[in-house]
Structure 1
Amino acid sequence: METLTKPETEKQAINPWQWQDQLGFAQAIKVKNYQETLFCAGQTAMSPEGKPIGEGDMRAQIGYALDNLETVLAQAAYSLSDVVRLNYYTTDVDLFFQHYDVVLNRLAESGSKVSSTLLGVSRLAFPQLLIEIEATAVK
């Protein structure tokens, strides 16, 4: 009996320009040879008990939201390197960019290249929350 192997998932960044490179994202990600997709709900700075944490601290909340995202990914047998899209919702775009290095460092550590959208919103589900991060991953 012949064993068939699945070709490795291939991801290609599509960037007609270079300005986005300094912001650590791609205009599009082309994915070939994948078998499944994971759509993650927005992750925030919530404790395991469902309580907002890091009130007033954007840097901490970005870190907690990314930690929670990685927990969800791991539960589904994915990792941050499988993520191809991140959407950010924040109540303060300027403050988010002051702490964007947290995102850039985490993505660089994982080798992840993503397409993304950033939206300023008037508030999130809990008024203490400053950032919500939504992800799509493929394998």
Structure 2
Amino acid sequence: MLKERIISPSVKEPAPGMWSNCLKVGNQVFISGMTARQPDGETVLGAEYEQSQVIFQKIKDLVEAAGGSMNNIIKMTIFVTNIANNSAVWKARQEFFEGDFPACTLVEVKSLAKPEILLEIEATAILG
């Protein structure tokens, strides 16, 4: 199995030995849970809609760096700290996808890495 780490200049890489933001294995692309953290480590402040826009842009940047597009994403898992605000996430998602949307799971969790992080999204894509 040939595993390739995909890097986008617009998405900050974690410290060595932590995790990979994006891996390409054959024609499959696996994107780790993305949050609205900026390259300086600070989280974009705002509600779920604003944070979702930042996250979907990061996912777009990574899948494009792997040679694909948002239409190649087949599965997403979205973790939110307040499921009552899920319509804001769906609104942002509609700005990045068209046609058949990916399969998706939305789960409410008690908390994420920092209190100001309201959601985290991971994605899987198949290229070609």
1:94 corresponding residue in structure 2: 84
Counterpart CA distance in 2 for 1:71 and 1:50 is: 18
- Alignment deviations for residues 69-121 of structure 1 (CA, whole Å, 9 cap, x no partner): 1111122222111100011000011112244222123212xx45211100000
* Residue number in structure 1 paired with 2:101: 113
- Which one has the bigger helix percentage? 1
In structure 2, do the counterparts of structure 1 residues 99 and 85 end up closer, same or farther at CA, with 3 Å as the change threshold?
closer
RMSD of aligned C-alpha atoms? 1.6
* 1:50 partner amino acid: G
Q: 2:49·2:91 contact (CA, 8 Å) conserved in 1?
A: no
Structure 1: which 5+ runs fail to align? 1-34
Indicate whether 1:81 and 2:79 are aligned.
Answer: no
Contact 2:74 2:102 in 1 (8 A): yes
- 5 Å matches for 1:1-139? 36-55=27-46, 57-108=47-98, 111-139=99-127
Quick one: distance in 1 between partners of 2:104 and 2:113? 21
1:36 counterpart letter in structure 2: N
The separation in 2 between residues aligned to 1:113 and 1:98, in whole angstroms, is 16
Aligned residues of 1:82 and 1:112 also touching (Cα < 8 A): no
Q: TM-score, normalised by structure 1?
A: 0.67
Larger Rg: 1
Counterpart Cα distance in 1 of 2:36 and 2:54: 5
Q: Using structure 2 for the length normalisation, give the TM-score.
A: 0.72
Percent of residue pairs identical: 24
Amino acid at match of 1:51: E
Q: Structure 1 residues 92 and 85, CA, compared in 2 at 3 Å: closer, same or farther?
A: same
Query: Runs of at least 4 residues of structure 1 off by over 6 A?
Result: none
Check conservation: 1:89, 1:118, Cα contact below 8 A. Answer: yes
Give 1:58 deviation, angstroms: 1.2
Aligned residues: 102
Contact 2:35-2:55 at 8 Å conserved across structures = yes
